[in-house]
Amino acid sequence: MPEPAAAPAAPALGGGTPPKLELRELYISYADRKGHSVQAVEGVNLTVANKPGVGELAVLLGPSGCGKSTILKAICGLLRQDSGEVLIDGQPVFGTGRDRGMVFQSYTSFAWRTVRKNVEYGLELQGIPAKQRKEEALRIVEQVGLKDFAAALPKQLSGGMKQRVAIARTLVNKPRVVLMDEPFGALDPQTRWGMQALILDVLRKQDNTVVFVTHDISEAVFLADVIFVLSHRPARVLHRIEVPYFEERDPKLKQSAEFKRLENHLLELLHALQVQGNVQVGL
């Protein structure tokens, strides 16, 4: 596997079409418990291509605590950057908005609402008529494999099923960018593999652009079209790696030579970061 260039950003597509998502010189800091300023993100530049009819899945991969989730929250509008810009389709964004939807690692369903009613919630806030809400909710519930559980309450669902509800509730609002913060991190390996395959299938049908945070190398290679490798905190983009096109993405892919080569290459990059971090701690 050739060494990737350290250029963090890809150019806009031909014809002047802007990227679906672009971060320009993003700086984010916060105050710790003692009131000291901590730099979390430092000069992050990255772009995620606009691919109508196909969608694009970008993964943020890096050491634990490096600032991956901080970047995701800034894109969502849950955190305000100190400086820099977040642009969607070339337009700067401020605060939260329906053009971005976020799926967290923790399950966030309303305990007193059925699966369908949970998925309808965002549509209710938009004032969508009841009949249309029900139709749209049932359509996406079926896509995430919960058709037979539309009338169930969250307490009757497994962890993987609860996360499917969270994904459906996000996708039903048709956001232009879907943000996923280690959404499968709490699941057992077998359920996690199934959810990875599910998310690829559903997102391709929905034509979504996705930014996905993970620390799992295998998950990153299996899901991503492009992977951004981040430094230790404060986060910077060190490498932008295009994932080869795999015609079939199923569990057997993870045993292929090409998949293993890319896994090993990313492992080497992260190991180098770990060594660098240990040296800095020693200093």
Would you say residue 268 lies in a domain?
A: yes
| pLDDT score recorded for residue 276 | 66
Q: Measuring CA to CA, how many Å separate 93 from each of 30, 75, 80, 180, 208?
A: 20, 8, 11, 18, 18
| pLDDT score recorded for residue 13 | 46
Ranges of residues in the chain whose predicted pLDDT is under 50: 1-14, 279-283
Amino acid code (one letter) for 27: Y
CATH of the domain at 261: 3.40.50.300
Cis peptide bond upstream of 234, omega within 30: yes
Would you say residue 100 lies in a domain?
A: no
| pLDDT score recorded for residue 12 | 46
| pLDDT score recorded for residue 203 | 78
| pLDDT score recorded for residue 15 | 53
| pLDDT score recorded for residue 245 | 81
Task: Report how many domains make up the chain.
Answer: 1
Would you say residue 151 lies in a domain?
A: no
CA torsion, points 85, 86, 91, 93, in degrees to nearest 10? Answer: -100
Query: What size, in residues, is the chain?
Result: 283
Would you say residue 180 lies in a domain?
A: no
Would you say residue 63 lies in a domain?
A: yes
Sheet of strand 91-92, all strands in order from the earlier edge strand to the far edge: 37-48, 21-31, 83-88, 91-92
Tell me 127's DSSP state: T
Would you say residue 163 lies in a domain?
A: no
Please give the model's pTM, rounded to 2 decimal places.
0.86
Would you say residue 201 lies in a domain?
A: no
Would you say residue 190 lies in a domain?
A: no
| pLDDT score recorded for residue 196 | 87
- Containing structural domain, residue 234: 1-94+210-283
